[in-house]
Structure 1
Amino acid sequence: MKKSKLKTVCALFLAGVLGATGVVGCNSNDDNGDKAKGNEELIYNLGAEVKTIDPALNNAVDGSIVICNAFEGLMRLDDNQKAIPGIAESYELSDDSLTYTFHLRDDALWSDGKPVTAEDFKYAWTRALNPDTAAEYAFQLYYIKGGENYNNGTGSAEDLGINVVDNHTLEVTLENPTSYFLELTAFPTLMPVREDIVEANGDGWTLKPETYVSNGPFMLKEYNMKDSYVFVKNPEYYRKDEVKLDTLKFRMIEDEVSAYASVKNGEISMSEILPNSEIQKGQEEGTVQIYPYLGTYFYCINVGNNTENLPEDVQAALSNKKVRQALSLAIDRKTICEQVTKGGQIPAYSYVPEGIPGAEEGKDFTGEVKYWNPEKADLEQAKKLLEEAGYPNGEGLPTLELLYNTNEGNKLVAETIQQMWAKINVNVELYNEEWAVFQDSRKNGNYEIARHGWIGDYLDPMTFLDMWMSGLGNNDAKFSNEEYDNLIRSAKEETDIAKKYEYLRKAEDILMDEMPIIPIYYYTQIKAVSPRVKDVVVSPLGQVYFDKAYIE
């Protein structure tokens, strides 16, 4: 996003992004309570219409940002992405590392004044695993004993390792020891919801302030479809004295130019989106900031055997891994990062990004592994692979369709890659859809090649790799490989850290050989920010926290 500080951004990733959390407008004075005067309102533009703010159903960053400011899980994450007490003030772990006993704080209340109970967590987790809920993130609860079996229809809710001891005590038994389970309890899917409200109001419970009852720092006051969510400080939140904002408003402005202009003229405080052309100048003016981001921007290829969605000749081409490999090798990732995105992004040479820790302390999982040269395209090898696939010089290869969600940055990347693929005689037509429609198209397999991106949910390579197991809700490529599935399962069951990472390395080897996805670059977070915004915490895992924020 800013050419002038590219080296700074790269250094953040290479020097230890795993614990780096950005703080907007950090003030040297730790006590900022006297800064809050009058009606403190912060307006944050999410950049698109949010599909859902239901903790069980959401699988997108925009929805997570809203949810993480409205709800709180058993644990919270500190600035190093490590678990600290949230609704649970303490816990014990059994000697075999399989059973957690969480003790909920007495002063944890819902925004309507009712106490948060262990039953609320049991209901929320069971609901997410219920196959009728069709939660794409249900697999984040497979670590719980019986979770996967219940979700796939071979087990029952009664067999789940979730036991309510009393109103303030929750006992959770896992399938296998899981070092990052505490961090998972801070993830949106595992946040509590109220059974009485959800069951009485169905899918519409998230749309009305009187039913969107939450237990975090902010509560819903107003919802304006396709325009905004208006939250206010939750007077029942146990840390309410630390919350400085009176109002937190989430806008859904999709036009980058309008969004950035609104930040510059003071109409909104921060924006997820802005024109690429404004990044460098904005940094110089102090209205653009870049933060580390543990994520990968990639293209997803529909490799599922779905003849209803794909023409036969397209399916034949995309099901050939040599065609997919050729498409990857024809991309000049360095050019995209330096001349198109211009935001300090790093050309991808793997799927799991830099910054995810490996088996050895202080070293990334990715390490020295490079599946291709990220500095340049390899057109000769790409042409050779096409020929081996039965398409010499691209002859006989059907025109392919590339789908992206409406966004100027996505458009520029797509147009650039379209030109790169033309150099190996692969013709591509570009299509775009609005965010909500696009998500449905990708999920349902109504595409050939689609833009995608994944941000880590916790600091472990598993957060990137287990989503490609056969049949999982976030597996939009419809990829299925038995050896891959077995390696992921073995990694989840393995207690020896070195062996676990060996399984995961082999799994990524398969993924990058089969190439159902084409990594393009490792993300950075680019945000337009008013200089008046202080103490907003921007996590490398994609969350943005406003519980300590204020406007100067």
Structure 2
Amino acid sequence: MTHKKAMIPTLFMAAVVAAIPATHAADVPAGTQLAKVQELVKGNGAEPASLDPHKTEGVPESQILRDLFEGLISSGPKGEVLPGVAQSWETKDNKHYLFHLRKNAKWSNGDPVTAHDFEYAFKRAVDPKTASPYAWYLEIPTIINASDIIAGKKPAETLGVKAIDDYTFEVQLEKAVPYFVSMLSRTTTYPVPKKVIAQFGDKWTQPGNMVSNGAYALSQWVVNERIEVERNKHYWNDAKTVINQVTYLPIDNNADLNRYLAGEVDMTYQMPIERFKQMKKEKPDELKVTGYVGTYFYTFNVKRKPYDDVRVRTALTYAIDRNVIADKVMGQGQQPAYGLVPDFVDGFKPTAPEWSKLTQAERNTQAKGLLSEAGYGPGNPLKLDLLYNTDDNHKRVAVAVASMWKQLGVEVSLVNQEWKTYLDSLKQGQFDVARRGWIADYNEASSLLDLMQTTHGNNDGKYSNPAFDQLMDSSRDQVDAAARSKVYQQAEALLAKDMPIAPIYQYVTARMVQPYVGGYPANPLDELHSKEMYIVAH
């Protein structure tokens, strides 16, 4: 149970939070008989592109990094903000923050975790030399000089962060961003060990070299086979950790489920769509479906013709029958998406755009007209490549959408690539239309809408509208949630007009969890921590 130091008027969350009890650990009910072997095997979906917190951007990496590292704060079982390395924090104006670090936080080699580690890590994350795909994440809350550093205009040393002493970390923002603290569970804000990186360079994340500060430490990494981590005996809350070893398997959904049913996997990454109903019927208690703050969409490369033409983008967007995709193709509880922000996000209810109220037949008619206006028809069919990362579920969606576009006379070539190659293609702009999904890094609408800003590092389609950028910049001046919501509505309206993306469905998390796995949370960001879980005798 958390408590506040004083009832100080707040802008978004407690202006001063202090001495919060450590609640982020396995909560084993009294009388539970634990298994003698406390090992957890998880499906991971794909081989991680990296285990360097500052060089990753996807879910396959984040799942592992959350076990290996801990930031200033952590996301709790229900998505709540809990203390991490910072046991308390304070602010008077939501611009100047002081984080007070716990003095028993240590690296896996026994060295103390200090404010200097966080200062080094934040500066490393924005330094262009690091080439972090998530550098923009520290620009979003307007940390002083972050934008200029990322743009190469100022040195990383000028970033508005500072170790006041070994256990006091200061962050200064240009604007009073009311949700700043909730952003600090993201992997980009994790500390990294300076002396280890200096010693091993890019090889610092290899087993035997890697030093981390989370509940677990890396013990084995066999590429494309498995990654294993074991309890970090130096972790400050190790006494409350139960699982001794975690294994992550980079396998696709069908292999994941098959190994689960064979008793070789304790928790799947996702679910094969075609086997969802079977599992719901045969193992309903093991099927876990929860809301997820994220949206599945296709992004258009607006730097390529003809996707620089809003008529083409709008036609392709209209022609996707979202009800069929959500209900028939997916069928796990997903909802049709007509905007970037899902209904499930905290504090904001998106307004459906006018085109969402049309019947699918009406949308198809308008789509054909728009393509014709743009110069495409039977004598000159639009031909496009649709890129997606290798995954059975993504393939099913792509096949369905290609069929819908075919009804417009569009000729679609499906292009699937492995995760790392797919990420490279996105970064280099080597695509016409690409599958994308965005999961909020914190439970607030801006975590999704910011994606479409001109300078955002994951704006792969290169959409740019100064009016949209100005709206999102101004949202950070709005302390009042209702005022921010009005700005977000305007931003969504601009996206509905410009159509840089084709929203398809709102995510849910659907996975199988063995009945003997205790402590599985219903986290809206799907930020799972193995230290919260335990294996019951079975």
Check conservation: 1:470, 1:480, Cα contact below 8 A: yes
* 1:265 aligned residue: 262
For residues 28 and 139 of structure 1, do their structure 2 counterparts lie closer, same or farther at Cα, with a shift above 3 Å needed? closer
Q: Does 1:278 align with 2:301?
A: no
What residue in structure 2 maps to residue 406 of structure 1?
Answer: 390
Q: For residues 389 and 248 of structure 1, do their structure 2 counterparts lie closer, same or farther at Cα, with a shift above 3 Å needed? A: same
After superposition, residues 67-82 of structure 1 pair within 5 angstroms as 67-82=65-80
1:130 matches 2:122: no
For 1:196, the aligned partner's letter is: K
The answer on 1:200 being equivalent to 2:189 is: no
What residue in structure 1 maps to residue 349 of structure 2? 365
Contact (CA 8 Å) 2:43, 2:256: kept in 1 or not? Answer: yes
Q: Is the 8 A contact 2:461 2:500 kept in 1?
A: yes
The residue matched to 1:527 in structure 2 has which SS?
strand
8 Å contact kept, 2:77–2:522: no
TM-score by length of 2: 0.90
Q: How many residue pairs end up in the alignment?
A: 506
Q: Is the 8 A contact 2:320 2:405 kept in 1?
A: yes
User: In structure 2, what is the equivalent of residue 19 of structure 1?
Assistant: none
Whole-angstrom CA distance in 1 between matches of 2:84 and 2:390: 37
Question: Which residue identity is paired with 1:316?
Answer: K
The residue number in structure 2 matching 1:437 is 421
- Find the aligned partners of 1:394 and 1:321 in 2 and give their Cα distance: 20
Q: Does 1:384 align with 2:369?
A: yes
How many Å apart are 1:250 and its aligned residue?
0.7
Deviation for aligned residue 1:507:
1.8
The 2-side partners of 1:206 and 1:373 are apart by 50
> What residue is the counterpart of 2:7 in the other structure?
none
For residue 93 of structure 1, the aligned residue among 87, 91, 94 is 91
Question: Following superposition of structure 1 onto structure 2, how do residues 132-531 of structure 1 map, counting pairs within 5 Å?
Answer: 132-142=129-139, 143=141, 144-208=143-207, 210-254=208-252, 256-286=253-283, 287-304=286-303, 315-358=304-347, 364-367=348-351, 371-373=355-357, 376=360, 378-391=363-376, 393=377, 395-531=379-515
Identity rate, percent: 34
| Cα distance in 2 for residues equivalent to 1:212 and 1:375 | 55
In structure 1, give the amino acid aligned to 2:408.
I
Which residue does the alignment assign to 2:23?
none
Which residue of structure 1 aligns with residue 19 of structure 2?
A: none
Whole-Å Cα distance in 2 between the matches of residues 274 and 348 of structure 1?
Answer: 20
**1:147-195 deviation line (CA, Å, top 9, x unaligned):** 1111111222332211111101111111111111111111111011111
The structural deviation recorded for 1:46 is: 0.6
Alpha-carbon offset, residue 490 of structure 1: 1.6
Please tell me whether the aligned partners of residues 264 and 530 of structure 1 are also in contact (alpha carbons under 8 angstroms): no
Equivalent residue of 1:299, what SS? strand
SS where residue 296 of structure 1 aligns? strand
**In structure 1, how many angstroms separate the alpha carbons of the residues matched to 2:95 and 2:378?**
54
User: Quick one: structure 1 residues 354 and 395, their matched pair in 2 at CA, closer, same or farther if it must change by over 3 Å?
Assistant: farther
Structure 2 residue identity aligned to 1:137: Y
- More displaced stretch, 293-302 vs 153-162: 153-162
| Contact 1:317–1:397, Cα closer than 8 Å, also in 2 | no
Structure 1 unmatched ranges of 5 or more = 1-26, 305-314, 359-363
Corresponding residue for 2:20? none
SS at match of 2:441: coil
What is the deviation of 1:367? 4.4
Structure 1 493/31 Cα, relative in aligned 2: closer, same or farther at 3 Å? same
8 Å CA contact retained: 1:350, 1:371:
no
Contact kept in structure 1, 2:338 and 2:352, CA below 8 Å: no
Change (3 A) 1:79 1:268: closer
Name the CA distance, whole Å, in 1 between partners of 2:339 and 2:289.
22
Unaligned runs of 5+ in 2: 1-25
Secondary structure, counterpart of 1:65 in structure 2:
helix
Runs of 4+, deviation exceeding 6 Å: none
Query: Separation in 2 of the partners of 1:265 and 1:370?
Result: 48
Partner amino acid, structure 2, of 1:409: N
Q: Which moved more, 1:75-84 or 1:236-245?
A: 75-84
**Does the CA contact (< 8 Å) of 1:356 and 1:366 recur in 2?**
no
How big is the alpha-carbon RMSD for the aligned residues of Structure 1 and Structure 2?
1.9
Residue identity matched to 1:516: P
Taking structure 1 as the reference length, the TM-score comes to 0.88
Aligned residue number for residue 4 of structure 1? none
